[in-house]
A and B are shown apart, each in its own frame.
Chain A
Amino acid sequence: MDFKHLASKIGLDDEDFMELVELFITTTLSDLEKIKQGVAANRIEDVVASSHSIKGAAGNMGFDDIFTLTKKMESESKAGSLENFDAYILDLENQVMEITTN
């Protein structure tokens, strides 16, 4: 993932962008935790809200893959379906990891 490119795309310098990336990772991991708990306890509203939150942040940062994934998670959970979530959660964890190690 080319952070320099993403930073210039949204008009920030690298340092500011990195600060936001760190914030993104922290908030996304916390939202991801809420999604896991929500799926386990079948609390659909929590899953919807946390997916929505990650989606918004990812969209603005230019993390398009995470945006597309969480958009799907939000709309499916809104429709009451959590059946694909084990796969989604795994996918999301990998993508966040990829950002972390970048």
Chain B
Amino acid sequence: MGNTHPYTVLAVDDNLLNLKLIEKSLSKEGYQIFSADNGPDARSIALEKLPDLILLDIEMPVENGFDVIKKLKEDAATNAIPVIFLTGVSEVDSKLKGFELGAVDYITKPFHPQEVLARVRIHLKLSIATNSLIQDQAAKLRQVTKAQVAMLPLPEEYPTAKFGVYYRALQEAGGDFYDILNISEHITGYFVADSSGHDIETSYMTASVKALLAQNCIPVYSPAESMKMINDVLVEILPQGKYLTACYMHINRTTMKLTIINAGHPPVVCQPVKGEPFLIKSQGDVCGMFSDAHFGIKRINVSRGDRFFIYSDGLVESAENKITWASGADSLLPIYKTLVGVPYGKAPEEMISQLFGNDTYPEDDIVLLCIEV
């Protein structure tokens, strides 16, 4: 709907004279008119030309106006086009039915061309206003996405954390999130979370969790204590029914001890420098739901060169193939083995391209971290 293009109106009426009359009076005012004298033609023109507005006669042989609008509203391509009905003056039921089927207005017949013009004008104005509102909102959402991505730490900013990452958000406000915490010179925290939603609220939650991590993942707290503090605050601030699944991994590269706190998140994969990859499973409540939540805790000794993979369920879950992370995580183990020779910075991307190929896309948000001790 730019200024350089004329607004387009599709007029549908089996009465040729009415069509011509509409065409003459609207084109005089600068509109471009497409016309159809039957339902099927109207639908194919609507789909091909995507007019800004449709004037639709109800009483037509074979396929009447009700059938036409029903089909237009069912098709995503044409469903937002405003439709004005042309209807006989006494047909109250028709008018009601028209509105019910999604018409924005009606014009009674016999119509006065000036009335048609006035109604077309009003509804185009309304539709322009609605569209620009939607575009404003989409632009704001895109800013949120940018802000959200800007909050995610990049590997080159944290060289001592020795990690690589693949991150992809499907919607404007993604539900997946990760953070890296330099707790001390040799201690690093890695946090991956997936929130129960993909809306704006979720993206504000990301900012809150990031702040909470910075406040609570400090040397004086054990990893379990950090997570407990974060959980208790989230219980207070999250809207009803919202929660996170999260995994917090804490590596001390001096004592070579690793701690994993799991809050309802898929299991971490360990690829030891020597040996087969395995899952580190631990049961635990989700984060942000219960103030007395109990998280799974695992402590293990690690060696230099051991690798750990933390990911969100989008990696191992496929709604289409009905795979959940309980079974999906196991089936992926052989792939980790093939990544041994790949530098940790490149491993996540390599894993995704092995899993999804280069042109199919994951069905959900995905975050995948590869961390080397």
Q: How far is the CA of A30 from the CA of B16 in the complex (A)?
A: 12
With A23-B16, A27-B17, A49-B61 already in contact, the answer to whether A60 and B111 are too (CB < 8 A) is: yes
CB–CB B25/A56 < 8 A: no
Interface extent on B, as a size class? 10 to 19
CB–CB B110/A67 < 8 A: yes
Name B99-131 residues within 8 Å CB distance of A: 109-114, 117
Chain A residue numbers with a CB within 8 Å of B17 are: 20, 23-24, 27, 56-57, 60-61
With A49-B61, A53-B15, A56-B15 already in contact, the answer to whether A20 and B21 are too (CB < 8 A) is: yes
Q: How far is the CA of A10 from the CA of B111 in the complex (A)?
A: 9
Chain A residue numbers with a CB within 8 Å of B14 are: 53
CB–CB B109/A23 < 8 A: no
CB–CB B113/A20 < 8 A: no
Q: Mark B153-192, 1 if CB is under 8 A from A, else 0.
A: 0000000000000000000000000000000000000000
By CB atoms of chain A within 10 A, which of B15, B28, B113 has the most? B15
Tell me whether A59 is interfacial, beta carbon within 8 Å: yes
A27 partner, pick from B16, B28, B117, beta carbons under 8 A: B16
Q: How far is the CB of B264 from chain A (nearest CB, A)?
A: 66
Chain B residue numbers with a CB within 8 Å of A56 are: 15, 17-18, 109-110
A11 partner, pick from B18, B109, B110, B113, beta carbons under 8 A: B113
CB–CB B114/A10 < 8 A: yes
A59 partner, pick from B16, B28, B61, B109, beta carbons under 8 A: B109
Q: Mark B1-35, 1 if CB is under 8 A from A, else 0.
A: 00000000000001111101100110010000000
With A11-B25, A12-B24, A12-B25 already in contact, the answer to whether A57 and B18 are too (CB < 8 A) is: yes
Q: How far is the CA of A49 from the CA of B111 in the complex (A)?
A: 19
Nearest A residue to B89 via CB reads: A59
Chain A residue numbers with a CB within 8 Å of B28 are: 12, 16
CB–CB B110/A60 < 8 A: yes
CB–CB A60/B18 < 8 A: yes
Chain A residue numbers with a CB within 8 Å of B15 are: 27, 53, 56-57
Q: How far is the CA of A10 from the CA of B15 in the complex (A)?
A: 18
Chain A residue numbers with a CB within 8 Å of B111 are: 60
CB–CB A10/B16 < 8 A: no
Nearest B residue to A63 via CB reads: B110
Chain B residue numbers with a CB within 8 Å of A23 are: 16-17, 20
Chain B residue numbers with a CB within 8 Å of A59 are: 109-110
Q: How far is the CB of B123 from chain A (nearest CB, A)?
A: 19
Tell me whether B59 is interfacial, beta carbon within 8 Å: yes
Q: Hey, which bits of chain B sit against chain A, CB under 8 A?
A: 14-18, 20-21, 24-25, 28, 59, 61, 109-114, 117
